[in-house]
Structures are given as structure tokens and as C-alpha cells.
Amino acid sequence: MIPAPMHPVEIIGGGLAGLSLGLALRHHGAPVTLIEACAYPRHRVCGEFITGLAPSTIERLGLTPFFADALHHREVAWFRHDQPLRRQTLPLPALAISRHALDQRLASAFVSAGGDLRTQTRADLTAAPVGRIFATGRRPDRPEWIGLKCHALNLSLTAELELHLGDNAYVGLCAVEDGRVNVSGLFRQREGLVVSRETALLVYLRAVGLAALADRLASVAIDPDSFSAVAGLGFSKPYAQDDRLVIGDAYAMIPPFTGHGMAMAFQSAEQALDPLLAWSRGEVSWDAAVRTVQHRLRVLFRVRLASAAMLHPFLVKPSRQRWLATASRLRLLPIGPLYQATH
């Protein structure tokens, strides 16, 4: 008997959530159109290290080949105002790979798997027709936070990952493929700082008390195409309704210090996969599929989002950073439990 045709799925947003979901749906034969406002490859503001991504999620979504050359990092060195704070060993290695490579690989695989990819096309987000998934990334609502990044060439690190705390800012340094070091930071936007795309990161580093880090960066070559910026970052409450199927950062953005946003993008795609396949095969209604996915995401992400939101001010506010530094020096920080709570 010839199987009945499956209902087509439309995904808006070709970041990690949209691409990984689209690819997994294609592996199960569902027709998928993916609409992406930009083109590939491109650099994106991101720390480019992934913590808390289980091998089972990688396998379920068919992602193993894309991480073949990812680096594995466990050693983290923390600094505040350029002074060493403490060193930490992650319970599990973080995967390190550039978004330039990862997004491009996923997009190519999606097309090879028969997906219909429409790049440089911005979808109108006001309508939520049956079969449409929103993987559109962050919901801009707190314009005071900006993200900046670049790839440094030949920059030596004091640990596999460096995390630097400044005044209302933090910056991560992470070695990725091809001898590059990704430098990416979250900063509270400052009035009156005159910056260009190329100078923004150095200017902000100096302004937040990370002059030595700025000097290190100024002394090495930077890939000029890698300078990227993103504004309007916020860590608002999770998307709370069942009127749309929303995954990845569009569902909720966890503060970047966790290194866990990309894992959550993949995990939300994983949670959406079976309900969407059931809908596409005509086994459940669209409303039921949406309700199931949104409920699963609420249950899965609730504790880690709340824990990360609670910890975030300790990393950015100078008065709380001082408390953090003292607790750290006295070895009073329960690093292991804090890691578990945010993953």
C-alpha cells in the first residue's frame, strides 16, 4: 500500500533550532520548507561552546557528522577585571565549533536531504497558520544588552575556555576549529561610546575594565569578516502560550554565561520532533501537537531558566561580582550544583 502523503511543515528561522528540526523531519520523510532571513555561511554573535548537549540528542537529531571536528573543552579559567578568579573543570566536555561552520553544515545537509531552503527571505510573523513553526531566535525586549564577537587568529589562551567578568559585562574566549579563538561578550549598552563594527569590541572591553584583555586582542590578527554585533538582547520569561509552536531562543533565551543556549535549541527541536511527525502523518491535530510541544518545553526548561536568571546578576553587577569573587576565593561556591541547576 502506498503511504498517505504527509502534511507539509514550514519552519521560520534557520538557526540551530530550525535547521536541526528541519533536518530531522526530512530524515523521517516529512516535507519541510525553511524560511531564513539571512544567507549562509555567516558569523553570528555566540560564545561557540556548547555545554549540556547529551549524546542521545545528537544521535536523535542526526547531528553526529557535524561535530566531527569540534574541539572538546573542560578547563575554564575565570577572571574579574583581568585578575584570575578561579579555575573550574566542567563535569562534561563542552563542544567548541564556530557558528560559521555549524550553521552552514546543517543548511547544506537540510538541502541534501530534500528540504526546501529559502534564504534571504523574511517571513511575516503576524500569522500562525497550521503547520508553521517559529524558530526565529531571541525576542528583543531589553535594548540595553548587546552582544559583540570576533575571531582572533594566533591568540594563546590560559585555559581551554576563559571567562572574563567586567562591569555590567562578561566575555568568553574559546578555541574553535582552524586555530581560531572566538571572542564574544555580553555588554550593557553605553550611551556616547562611538564605535564601528571593527572597533566596538575593543572599545567596550576597555570601557568595562578589561583593558588587559583588550591589549591581548589588539596584539593579534582578527578575521575582519568575523566582527559581529547583536542588539536588543533580553532574557525574558519563556513563551507561555499554546497558540504557536515556538522553539529555541524564540521560546526562551538562557543567559549566555551558561554556554547552554545552543543545546537548548537542539533539545527543543528534539522535543518537537515526534509530535510534529504525528501531526504530519495525520495522527493528531495541529492544536494537540502544539500543546504537547509547548508543555514539554515548559517542563524541561523551567528549572534551568529560573536558576540561570537568578545567577545572571552575580556575573554582571559589580557589587555582586565582588561577593562572587570573595566566595570563590574562600572556596564557598558550590560550582558543581550551580552547573547542574543551569543545565
- Residue 325 binds ligand FAD, judged by CB under 6 A: no
Candidates 131, 137, 166, 209; binder of ligand FAD (CB under 6 A) is: 137
- Residue 259 binds ligand FAD, judged by CB under 6 A: yes
Smaller CB separation from ligand FAD, 193 or 288: 193
Candidates 54, 111, 123, 300; binder of ligand FAD (CB under 6 A) is: 123
Least spacing, CB of residue 160 vs ligand FAD, in Å: 13
Least spacing, CB of residue 61 vs ligand FAD, in Å: 13
Provide the phi-psi class of 331: left if phi over 0, else alpha when psi is between -120 and 50, else beta: left
- Residue 13 binds ligand FAD, judged by CB under 6 A: yes
Which residues from 19-48 bind ligand FAD, rule CB under 6 A? 35-38, 45-48
Smaller CB separation from ligand FAD, 115 or 137: 137
Integer Cα distance of 206 and 229 in angstroms: 17
Integer Cα distance of 218 and 222 in angstroms: 9
How many beta carbons lie within 10 A of that of residue 78, not counting itself?
23
Integer Cα distance of 49 and 282 in angstroms: 38
- Residue 316 binds ligand FAD, judged by CB under 6 A: no
Phi and psi of 31, rounded to 5°?
Answer: -70, 130
DSSP three-state, residue 94: strand
Draw the binding track, 184-213, toward ligand FAD (x: CB under 6 A; -: no contact): x-x---------------------------
61 neighbors 23 (Cβ within 8 angstroms): yes
Integer Cα distance of 32 and 9 in angstroms: 5
290 neighbors 244 (Cβ within 8 angstroms): yes
Least spacing, CB of residue 143 vs ligand FAD, in Å: 13
Candidates 22, 166, 209, 256; binder of ligand FAD (CB under 6 A) is: 256
> CA dihedral defined by 305, 284, 244, 24, rounded to 10 degrees?
60
DSSP 273-313: HHHHHHHHTTSS-HHHHHHHHHHHHHHHHHHHHHHHHHHHH
Q: How many chain residues are in contact with ligand FAD, going by CB under 6 A?
A: 39
Smaller CB separation from ligand FAD, 4 or 126: 126
Which residues from 62-101 bind ligand FAD, rule CB under 6 A? none
Footprint of ligand FAD on this chain (CB under 6 A)? Answer: 12-18, 35-38, 45-50, 122-123, 125, 135-137, 147, 172, 184, 186, 230, 233, 248-250, 256, 259-263, 265
